[in-house]
Structure 1
Amino acid sequence: MAYKSAGVDLLLAFDLVLSALPASSVTMDGSAGFSLPPATDSKRGLIRIATQAEVTAGTATDIAVNPAQLEAVTSDSALMNSILTRDGNGSGLDADLLRGLPADFTSSKAVNGYQKLPSGLIIQWGAGTAAQRETMSSGYPNTLPIAFPNQGFFAIASYCGGLNTTTVWFESAYSGAHTGIRYIVIGY
Protein backbone atom coordinates (compact mmCIF):
# COMPACT_ATOMS: atom_id res chain seq x y z
CA MET A 1 0.00 0.00 0.00
CA ALA A 2 1.14 3.52 -0.63
CA TYR A 3 -0.15 6.95 0.29
CA LYS A 4 1.04 10.36 -0.79
CA SER A 5 -0.56 13.63 0.09
CA ALA A 6 -0.96 15.99 -2.88
CA GLY A 7 1.10 18.78 -1.28
CA VAL A 8 4.04 16.60 -0.15
CA ASP A 9 6.90 15.12 -2.20
CA LEU A 10 7.19 12.16 0.18
CA LEU A 11 5.68 8.80 -0.63
CA LEU A 12 5.01 6.51 2.27
CA ALA A 13 4.80 2.89 1.20
CA PHE A 14 4.35 -0.31 3.16
CA ASP A 15 3.43 -3.92 2.49
CA LEU A 16 0.69 -5.59 4.48
CA VAL A 17 0.62 -9.37 4.49
CA LEU A 18 -2.59 -11.02 5.66
CA SER A 19 -1.60 -14.66 5.46
CA ALA A 20 -4.20 -16.04 7.89
CA LEU A 21 -7.21 -14.39 6.24
CA PRO A 22 -8.94 -15.71 3.14
CA ALA A 23 -8.82 -13.22 0.26
CA SER A 24 -12.60 -13.01 0.11
CA SER A 25 -12.74 -11.52 3.61
CA VAL A 26 -10.67 -8.44 2.68
CA THR A 27 -12.38 -5.46 1.05
CA MET A 28 -11.16 -2.03 0.06
CA ASP A 29 -13.61 0.81 0.45
CA GLY A 30 -11.48 3.41 -1.33
CA SER A 31 -11.47 5.90 1.55
CA ALA A 32 -7.68 5.83 1.92
CA GLY A 33 -7.47 8.95 -0.25
CA PHE A 34 -4.79 7.75 -2.68
CA SER A 35 -3.41 10.39 -4.99
CA LEU A 36 -1.53 9.11 -8.04
CA PRO A 37 -0.51 12.17 -10.08
CA PRO A 38 0.83 11.60 -13.60
CA ALA A 39 4.59 11.54 -14.10
CA THR A 40 6.33 14.36 -15.93
CA ASP A 41 9.88 14.69 -17.24
CA SER A 42 10.83 16.33 -13.92
CA LYS A 43 8.58 14.59 -11.38
CA ARG A 44 7.92 10.96 -10.56
CA GLY A 45 4.39 9.72 -10.78
CA LEU A 46 2.04 7.33 -12.52
CA ILE A 47 2.83 6.41 -16.15
CA ARG A 48 1.18 4.41 -18.89
CA ILE A 49 3.26 2.28 -21.26
CA ALA A 50 2.59 3.03 -24.93
CA THR A 51 1.31 0.46 -27.36
CA GLN A 52 3.59 -0.39 -30.29
CA ALA A 53 1.20 1.47 -32.61
CA GLU A 54 1.54 4.61 -30.46
CA VAL A 55 5.34 4.30 -30.52
CA THR A 56 5.35 3.88 -34.29
CA ALA A 57 3.05 6.91 -34.74
CA GLY A 58 5.40 8.97 -32.55
CA THR A 59 2.86 11.65 -31.67
CA ALA A 60 1.95 11.10 -27.98
CA THR A 61 3.81 13.10 -25.32
CA ASP A 62 2.25 11.69 -22.15
CA ILE A 63 3.14 7.98 -22.28
CA ALA A 64 6.32 5.95 -21.75
CA VAL A 65 8.20 3.68 -24.16
CA ASN A 66 10.10 0.52 -23.19
CA PRO A 67 13.43 -0.48 -24.81
CA ALA A 68 11.94 -3.24 -27.00
CA GLN A 69 9.36 -0.85 -28.42
CA LEU A 70 12.06 1.73 -29.11
CA GLU A 71 14.28 -0.81 -30.89
CA ALA A 72 11.36 -1.78 -33.13
CA VAL A 73 11.17 1.76 -34.51
CA THR A 74 14.87 2.72 -34.48
CA SER A 75 16.51 -0.35 -36.05
CA ASP A 76 18.21 0.20 -39.42
CA SER A 77 15.44 -1.52 -41.36
CA ALA A 78 12.70 0.34 -39.46
CA LEU A 79 14.35 3.70 -40.18
CA MET A 80 14.74 2.91 -43.90
CA ASN A 81 11.10 1.81 -44.11
CA SER A 82 10.03 4.96 -42.28
CA ILE A 83 11.92 7.19 -44.70
CA LEU A 84 10.33 5.46 -47.69
CA THR A 85 6.86 5.40 -46.12
CA ARG A 86 6.80 8.99 -44.90
CA ASP A 87 8.91 10.68 -47.55
CA GLY A 88 9.02 8.40 -50.58
CA ASN A 89 10.98 9.12 -53.70
CA GLY A 90 11.99 12.68 -54.43
CA SER A 91 11.96 13.79 -50.80
CA GLY A 92 15.62 14.77 -50.77
CA LEU A 93 16.39 12.02 -48.24
CA ASP A 94 18.63 9.29 -49.58
CA ALA A 95 18.49 5.96 -47.74
CA ASP A 96 21.74 4.78 -49.33
CA LEU A 97 23.54 7.91 -48.25
CA LEU A 98 22.25 7.36 -44.70
CA ARG A 99 23.76 3.85 -44.82
CA GLY A 100 27.08 5.36 -45.88
CA LEU A 101 26.87 4.39 -49.54
CA PRO A 102 27.50 6.80 -52.40
CA ALA A 103 24.30 8.54 -53.40
CA ASP A 104 25.09 8.70 -57.11
CA PHE A 105 24.04 5.54 -59.00
CA THR A 106 23.51 7.32 -62.28
CA SER A 107 24.02 5.69 -65.64
CA SER A 108 24.02 6.43 -69.31
CA LYS A 109 22.73 3.58 -71.41
CA ALA A 110 24.14 4.79 -74.71
CA VAL A 111 26.69 3.37 -77.15
CA ASN A 112 29.29 5.29 -75.13
CA GLY A 113 27.91 4.97 -71.61
CA TYR A 114 28.60 4.20 -67.97
CA GLN A 115 27.12 2.80 -64.76
CA LYS A 116 28.07 4.05 -61.30
CA LEU A 117 27.89 1.22 -58.72
CA PRO A 118 27.04 1.43 -54.98
CA SER A 119 30.64 0.53 -54.08
CA GLY A 120 31.92 3.63 -55.92
CA LEU A 121 33.23 1.68 -58.91
CA ILE A 122 32.32 2.99 -62.35
CA ILE A 123 32.05 0.79 -65.44
CA GLN A 124 32.30 2.60 -68.78
CA TRP A 125 31.95 1.28 -72.31
CA GLY A 126 31.99 2.64 -75.78
CA ALA A 127 32.91 2.52 -79.43
CA GLY A 128 36.02 4.28 -80.59
CA THR A 129 39.01 4.46 -82.87
CA ALA A 130 42.37 2.73 -82.63
CA ALA A 131 45.55 3.54 -84.49
CA GLN A 132 48.28 1.21 -85.63
CA ARG A 133 50.79 0.88 -82.80
CA GLU A 134 54.13 2.29 -83.75
CA THR A 135 55.54 2.79 -80.24
CA MET A 136 54.33 1.84 -76.76
CA SER A 137 53.06 5.38 -76.13
CA SER A 138 51.34 5.87 -79.43
CA GLY A 139 47.69 5.21 -80.13
CA TYR A 140 44.48 7.07 -80.73
CA PRO A 141 42.96 8.80 -77.64
CA ASN A 142 39.30 8.01 -76.99
CA THR A 143 37.53 10.28 -74.49
CA LEU A 144 35.54 8.36 -71.88
CA PRO A 145 31.85 9.20 -71.33
CA ILE A 146 32.71 10.63 -67.88
CA ALA A 147 35.98 11.24 -66.05
CA PHE A 148 36.92 8.88 -63.21
CA PRO A 149 37.02 10.94 -59.98
CA ASN A 150 40.06 9.02 -58.69
CA GLN A 151 41.65 6.62 -61.16
CA GLY A 152 41.06 4.02 -63.83
CA PHE A 153 41.89 0.39 -62.98
CA PHE A 154 41.36 -1.66 -66.10
CA ALA A 155 40.71 -1.28 -69.81
CA ILE A 156 40.07 -3.81 -72.55
CA ALA A 157 39.34 -3.15 -76.22
CA SER A 158 38.71 -5.23 -79.30
CA TYR A 159 38.03 -4.60 -82.95
CA CYS A 160 34.36 -5.16 -83.50
CA GLY A 161 32.85 -5.73 -86.91
CA GLY A 162 29.31 -5.55 -85.58
CA LEU A 163 27.14 -6.00 -82.52
CA ASN A 164 23.48 -6.65 -81.84
CA THR A 165 21.50 -8.08 -78.92
CA THR A 166 22.64 -11.66 -79.53
CA THR A 167 25.89 -11.57 -81.55
CA VAL A 168 29.20 -9.75 -81.74
CA TRP A 169 31.64 -9.91 -84.68
CA PHE A 170 35.35 -9.40 -84.00
CA GLU A 171 37.94 -8.45 -86.59
CA SER A 172 41.67 -9.10 -86.62
CA ALA A 173 44.07 -6.17 -86.30
CA TYR A 174 45.40 -4.53 -89.41
CA SER A 175 47.51 -1.49 -90.24
CA GLY A 176 46.06 2.00 -90.21
CA ALA A 177 43.38 3.62 -88.11
CA HIS A 178 40.34 1.51 -87.35
CA THR A 179 37.03 2.90 -86.13
CA GLY A 180 35.36 -0.36 -85.13
CA ILE A 181 36.75 -0.90 -81.66
CA ARG A 182 34.62 -1.52 -78.57
CA TYR A 183 35.99 -0.98 -75.07
CA ILE A 184 35.19 -1.51 -71.39
CA VAL A 185 37.01 0.36 -68.65
CA ILE A 186 36.65 0.14 -64.87
CA GLY A 187 37.70 2.72 -62.32
CA TYR A 188 36.47 4.80 -59.40
Structure 2
Amino acid sequence: MIIQNKPDYLIFADSAKKGENAAFPDVSRGWGVTIDQTASKPPMEWMNGAFNRIDKNMLYLLQQGVPEWSEQVTYPANAIIKYNGVLYTAIVENDNAMPTTSTTKWKKTQEEIPNASLFQKGVVKLNSEINSESETEAATPKAIKKVCDLANNQVPNIRKINNKTLNTDIVLQADDVNALPAIRKFDNNIPVYEVGGIQTDFKQRPTFNNSDLISRSDYSSSFNKNGYIKLPNGLVIQWGEAEYLKTADQDGYIQSFYTSFPHACLAIVTNDAYGGTNSTAAHPISTSQFRCWGKNSIGAYANTGLFYIALGF
Protein backbone atom coordinates (compact mmCIF):
# COMPACT_ATOMS: atom_id res chain seq x y z
CA MET A 1 0.00 0.00 0.00
CA ILE A 2 1.35 3.44 -0.98
CA ILE A 3 2.13 5.92 1.79
CA GLN A 4 -0.22 8.87 1.37
CA ASN A 5 0.91 12.47 1.19
CA LYS A 6 0.11 14.90 3.96
CA PRO A 7 -3.51 16.13 3.50
CA ASP A 8 -4.25 19.80 2.79
CA TYR A 9 -6.68 20.02 5.76
CA LEU A 10 -9.28 21.86 3.65
CA ILE A 11 -13.00 21.38 4.37
CA PHE A 12 -15.24 20.68 1.37
CA ALA A 13 -17.74 23.55 0.81
CA ASP A 14 -16.37 25.40 3.83
CA SER A 15 -16.64 28.68 1.86
CA ALA A 16 -19.98 27.92 0.19
CA LYS A 17 -22.35 30.85 -0.21
CA LYS A 18 -25.55 31.18 1.74
CA GLY A 19 -27.98 28.45 0.74
CA GLU A 20 -25.34 26.31 -1.00
CA ASN A 21 -24.56 24.13 2.04
CA ALA A 22 -27.29 22.41 4.07
CA ALA A 23 -27.14 19.65 6.65
CA PHE A 24 -28.01 16.28 5.10
CA PRO A 25 -31.61 15.60 6.18
CA ASP A 26 -31.26 11.91 7.13
CA VAL A 27 -27.72 10.67 7.69
CA SER A 28 -28.84 7.24 8.84
CA ARG A 29 -30.87 6.56 5.66
CA GLY A 30 -28.40 8.19 3.30
CA TRP A 31 -29.22 8.88 -0.36
CA GLY A 32 -32.42 6.92 -0.08
CA VAL A 33 -34.06 10.01 1.40
CA THR A 34 -33.91 11.61 -2.09
CA ILE A 35 -36.49 9.06 -3.32
CA ASP A 36 -39.06 10.52 -0.95
CA GLN A 37 -38.10 14.19 -1.17
CA THR A 38 -36.33 15.10 -4.45
CA ALA A 39 -37.28 12.44 -6.98
CA SER A 40 -33.98 10.61 -6.48
CA LYS A 41 -32.00 13.72 -7.44
CA PRO A 42 -29.98 15.09 -4.51
CA PRO A 43 -29.72 18.89 -4.62
CA MET A 44 -26.36 20.65 -4.60
CA GLU A 45 -26.69 21.89 -1.01
CA TRP A 46 -27.21 18.28 0.22
CA MET A 47 -24.14 17.11 -1.68
CA ASN A 48 -22.11 19.96 -0.16
CA GLY A 49 -23.47 19.14 3.28
CA ALA A 50 -22.60 15.44 2.97
CA PHE A 51 -18.99 16.01 1.88
CA ASN A 52 -18.64 18.87 4.36
CA ARG A 53 -19.66 16.50 7.14
CA ILE A 54 -17.13 13.87 6.04
CA ASP A 55 -14.27 16.38 5.86
CA LYS A 56 -15.09 17.83 9.31
CA ASN A 57 -15.13 14.36 10.87
CA MET A 58 -11.78 13.56 9.23
CA LEU A 59 -10.28 16.85 10.42
CA TYR A 60 -11.56 16.16 13.95
CA LEU A 61 -9.62 12.88 13.99
CA LEU A 62 -6.51 14.59 12.58
CA GLN A 63 -6.73 17.28 15.26
CA GLN A 64 -7.45 14.98 18.20
CA GLY A 65 -5.12 12.17 17.17
CA VAL A 66 -7.30 9.84 19.26
CA PRO A 67 -11.11 10.25 19.33
CA GLU A 68 -12.81 11.36 22.52
CA TRP A 69 -14.99 8.86 24.39
CA SER A 70 -18.71 8.90 23.54
CA GLU A 71 -21.52 7.11 25.32
CA GLN A 72 -23.14 6.56 21.91
CA VAL A 73 -20.35 4.34 20.57
CA THR A 74 -19.81 0.60 21.10
CA TYR A 75 -16.06 0.05 21.50
CA PRO A 76 -14.31 -3.25 20.67
CA ALA A 77 -11.59 -4.70 22.85
CA ASN A 78 -8.25 -2.83 22.50
CA ALA A 79 -9.94 0.34 21.20
CA ILE A 80 -8.15 3.50 22.32
CA ILE A 81 -10.04 6.68 23.26
CA LYS A 82 -9.35 9.92 25.11
CA TYR A 83 -11.26 11.11 28.16
CA ASN A 84 -10.42 14.32 30.06
CA GLY A 85 -7.03 14.38 28.35
CA VAL A 86 -6.12 10.81 29.40
CA LEU A 87 -5.81 7.86 26.99
CA TYR A 88 -7.72 4.66 27.82
CA THR A 89 -7.67 1.20 26.20
CA ALA A 90 -10.76 -1.02 26.15
CA ILE A 91 -10.25 -4.29 28.04
CA VAL A 92 -13.43 -5.83 26.61
CA GLU A 93 -16.14 -4.73 24.21
CA ASN A 94 -18.37 -2.16 25.91
CA ASP A 95 -20.72 0.74 25.40
CA ASN A 96 -21.72 3.67 27.62
CA ALA A 97 -19.10 2.58 30.22
CA MET A 98 -17.36 5.57 31.82
CA PRO A 99 -13.56 5.09 31.47
CA THR A 100 -12.76 6.64 34.86
CA THR A 101 -15.08 4.34 36.83
CA SER A 102 -15.47 1.19 34.71
CA THR A 103 -12.13 -0.32 35.70
CA THR A 104 -13.09 -3.80 34.45
CA LYS A 105 -13.77 -2.42 30.97
CA TRP A 106 -11.16 0.33 30.59
CA LYS A 107 -7.56 0.77 31.64
CA LYS A 108 -5.18 3.67 31.24
CA THR A 109 -3.15 3.22 28.07
CA GLN A 110 -0.05 4.46 29.85
CA GLU A 111 0.08 3.87 33.58
CA GLU A 112 1.09 6.85 35.67
CA ILE A 113 4.66 6.68 36.85
CA PRO A 114 4.72 6.94 40.67
CA ASN A 115 7.14 9.04 42.65
CA ALA A 116 10.28 7.17 43.60
CA SER A 117 10.86 6.06 47.18
CA LEU A 118 13.06 3.67 49.09
CA PHE A 119 10.66 0.87 48.17
CA GLN A 120 9.72 1.53 44.51
CA LYS A 121 11.09 2.87 41.28
CA GLY A 122 9.62 6.07 39.87
CA VAL A 123 10.03 9.76 39.18
CA VAL A 124 12.69 11.40 41.31
CA LYS A 125 13.39 15.07 41.91
CA LEU A 126 16.99 16.31 41.70
CA ASN A 127 18.50 18.28 44.57
CA SER A 128 21.79 20.17 44.70
CA GLU A 129 21.71 20.80 48.46
CA ILE A 130 24.10 18.89 50.70
CA ASN A 131 22.25 19.38 54.00
CA SER A 132 18.98 17.74 52.94
CA GLU A 133 17.69 14.65 54.77
CA SER A 134 15.23 13.74 52.00
CA GLU A 135 14.98 10.09 51.00
CA THR A 136 12.89 10.79 47.88
CA GLU A 137 15.31 13.11 46.01
CA ALA A 138 18.52 12.41 44.11
CA ALA A 139 21.81 14.26 44.41
CA THR A 140 23.09 16.14 41.39
CA PRO A 141 26.74 16.18 40.27
CA LYS A 142 26.87 19.68 41.74
CA ALA A 143 25.92 18.35 45.18
CA ILE A 144 28.49 15.55 44.93
CA LYS A 145 31.18 18.05 43.96
CA LYS A 146 30.33 20.18 47.01
CA VAL A 147 30.76 17.14 49.28
CA CYS A 148 34.06 16.19 47.63
CA ASP A 149 35.36 19.72 47.97
CA LEU A 150 34.47 19.76 51.66
CA ALA A 151 36.01 16.34 52.24
CA ASN A 152 39.25 17.41 50.58
CA ASN A 153 39.47 20.39 52.90
CA GLN A 154 38.64 18.63 56.18
CA VAL A 155 40.98 17.82 59.04
CA PRO A 156 44.22 19.32 57.80
CA ASN A 157 47.29 17.79 59.42
CA ILE A 158 47.91 20.98 61.37
CA ARG A 159 44.88 20.26 63.55
CA LYS A 160 45.29 18.57 66.95
CA ILE A 161 43.30 16.74 69.57
CA ASN A 162 44.59 17.42 73.06
CA ASN A 163 47.93 18.44 71.52
CA LYS A 164 48.08 15.23 69.48
CA THR A 165 48.71 16.08 65.83
CA LEU A 166 46.59 14.37 63.17
CA ASN A 167 49.37 13.69 60.69
CA THR A 168 49.41 10.02 61.72
CA ASP A 169 47.29 7.47 63.56
CA ILE A 170 46.77 8.40 67.20
CA VAL A 171 45.49 6.54 70.25
CA LEU A 172 42.89 8.44 72.26
CA GLN A 173 42.36 8.01 75.96
CA ALA A 174 39.04 8.55 77.68
CA ASP A 175 40.15 11.95 78.99
CA ASP A 176 41.02 13.09 75.46
CA VAL A 177 37.35 13.09 74.46
CA ASN A 178 35.72 13.59 77.89
CA ALA A 179 34.60 9.95 78.02
CA LEU A 180 34.24 7.65 81.01
CA PRO A 181 37.29 5.50 81.76
CA ALA A 182 35.68 2.10 81.20
CA ILE A 183 37.27 -1.34 81.29
CA ARG A 184 36.11 -3.69 78.57
CA LYS A 185 35.48 -7.26 79.69
CA PHE A 186 33.68 -10.23 78.20
CA ASP A 187 30.85 -12.26 79.69
CA ASN A 188 30.12 -15.34 77.57
CA ASN A 189 31.70 -13.55 74.60
CA ILE A 190 29.50 -10.51 75.22
CA PRO A 191 31.48 -7.29 75.77
CA VAL A 192 30.70 -5.56 79.05
CA TYR A 193 32.08 -2.14 79.99
CA GLU A 194 32.73 -1.53 83.66
CA VAL A 195 32.90 2.01 85.05
CA GLY A 196 33.80 2.53 88.67
CA GLY A 197 35.52 4.75 91.16
CA ILE A 198 33.89 8.01 90.05
CA GLN A 199 30.53 9.71 90.39
CA THR A 200 28.65 9.52 87.08
CA ASP A 201 25.62 11.52 85.92
CA PHE A 202 24.07 9.67 82.97
CA LYS A 203 22.04 11.66 80.43
CA GLN A 204 20.52 8.43 79.10
CA ARG A 205 19.22 5.53 81.14
CA PRO A 206 21.90 2.84 81.62
CA THR A 207 21.19 -0.87 81.91
CA PHE A 208 22.18 -3.47 84.47
CA ASN A 209 22.34 -7.12 83.43
CA ASN A 210 20.50 -6.19 80.20
CA SER A 211 17.66 -4.51 82.11
CA ASP A 212 16.93 -0.81 82.47
CA LEU A 213 17.83 0.69 85.84
CA ILE A 214 14.96 2.20 87.82
CA SER A 215 15.48 5.58 89.44
CA ARG A 216 13.52 7.50 92.05
CA SER A 217 12.09 9.73 89.34
CA ASP A 218 10.23 6.68 87.94
CA TYR A 219 7.98 6.75 91.00
CA SER A 220 5.28 9.33 91.68
CA SER A 221 3.36 9.47 94.92
CA SER A 222 1.43 11.46 97.48
CA PHE A 223 1.73 10.12 101.03
CA ASN A 224 -1.17 11.52 103.07
CA LYS A 225 -4.38 10.26 104.61
CA ASN A 226 -5.69 10.19 101.07
CA GLY A 227 -2.87 9.39 98.68
CA TYR A 228 -1.36 7.17 96.00
CA ILE A 229 1.84 5.70 94.60
CA LYS A 230 2.54 4.93 90.93
CA LEU A 231 5.12 2.20 90.23
CA PRO A 232 7.49 2.22 87.22
CA ASN A 233 5.54 -0.60 85.56
CA GLY A 234 2.38 1.54 85.55
CA LEU A 235 0.63 -0.05 88.55
CA VAL A 236 -1.19 2.53 90.69
CA ILE A 237 -2.03 1.91 94.37
CA GLN A 238 -4.20 4.51 96.07
CA TRP A 239 -6.00 4.83 99.35
CA GLY A 240 -8.39 7.17 101.06
CA GLU A 241 -11.37 7.76 103.30
CA ALA A 242 -14.97 7.65 102.04
CA GLU A 243 -18.48 7.30 103.45
CA TYR A 244 -21.70 5.48 102.72
CA LEU A 245 -25.10 7.08 103.37
CA LYS A 246 -27.96 4.69 103.97
CA THR A 247 -30.24 6.78 101.74
CA ALA A 248 -28.36 5.20 98.82
CA ASP A 249 -29.76 1.85 99.94
CA GLN A 250 -28.76 -1.11 97.76
CA ASP A 251 -27.74 1.13 94.82
CA GLY A 252 -24.60 2.08 96.71
CA TYR A 253 -23.19 5.52 97.41
CA ILE A 254 -20.97 6.91 94.64
CA GLN A 255 -17.58 8.23 95.76
CA SER A 256 -14.58 9.56 93.83
CA PHE A 257 -11.09 8.11 93.95
CA TYR A 258 -8.35 10.37 95.27
CA THR A 259 -6.91 10.40 91.73
CA SER A 260 -8.22 8.90 88.50
CA PHE A 261 -6.61 5.72 87.17
CA PRO A 262 -5.07 6.26 83.71
CA HIS A 263 -6.75 3.15 82.24
CA ALA A 264 -8.76 1.04 84.69
CA CYS A 265 -9.34 0.15 88.33
CA LEU A 266 -8.77 -3.58 88.88
CA ALA A 267 -9.89 -4.02 92.47
CA ILE A 268 -10.91 -2.14 95.61
CA VAL A 269 -11.08 -3.33 99.24
CA THR A 270 -12.62 -1.50 102.21
CA ASN A 271 -12.92 -1.64 105.95
CA ASP A 272 -15.13 0.14 108.47
CA ALA A 273 -13.77 3.42 109.79
CA TYR A 274 -16.07 3.42 112.84
CA GLY A 275 -14.44 0.87 115.09
CA GLY A 276 -15.10 -2.17 112.92
CA THR A 277 -18.76 -2.61 113.94
CA ASN A 278 -20.11 -2.31 110.39
CA SER A 279 -19.40 -4.34 107.27
CA THR A 280 -18.38 -2.52 104.10
CA ALA A 281 -17.94 -3.25 100.39
CA ALA A 282 -17.11 -1.33 97.24
CA HIS A 283 -17.01 -1.81 93.48
CA PRO A 284 -15.30 0.39 90.83
CA ILE A 285 -17.65 1.89 88.23
CA SER A 286 -15.10 3.94 86.25
CA THR A 287 -11.50 5.08 86.38
CA SER A 288 -12.51 7.94 88.70
CA GLN A 289 -15.45 6.65 90.85
CA PHE A 290 -16.71 3.67 92.82
CA ARG A 291 -19.87 2.59 94.62
CA CYS A 292 -19.74 1.63 98.30
CA TRP A 293 -22.08 0.08 100.84
CA GLY A 294 -22.24 -0.18 104.62
CA LYS A 295 -24.36 -2.40 106.89
CA ASN A 296 -24.67 -2.61 110.65
CA SER A 297 -24.42 -5.75 112.72
CA ILE A 298 -28.02 -6.80 112.02
CA GLY A 299 -27.59 -6.50 108.24
CA ALA A 300 -29.39 -3.19 107.69
CA TYR A 301 -27.91 -0.46 105.53
CA ALA A 302 -26.37 2.15 107.82
CA ASN A 303 -24.37 5.37 107.58
CA THR A 304 -20.79 4.20 107.58
CA GLY A 305 -17.37 5.77 107.25
CA LEU A 306 -14.85 3.56 105.50
CA PHE A 307 -11.26 3.33 104.35
CA TYR A 308 -10.38 1.94 100.91
CA ILE A 309 -7.35 0.66 99.01
CA ALA A 310 -7.64 0.41 95.22
CA LEU A 311 -5.37 -1.14 92.56
CA GLY A 312 -5.30 -0.18 88.89
CA PHE A 313 -3.15 1.04 86.06
TM-score range normalised by the length of the shorter chain: 0.3 to 0.5
Larger radius of gyration between Structure 1 and Structure 2: 2
Q: State the TM-score, normalized to the length of structure 2.
A: 0.30
Greater per-residue strand proportion: 2
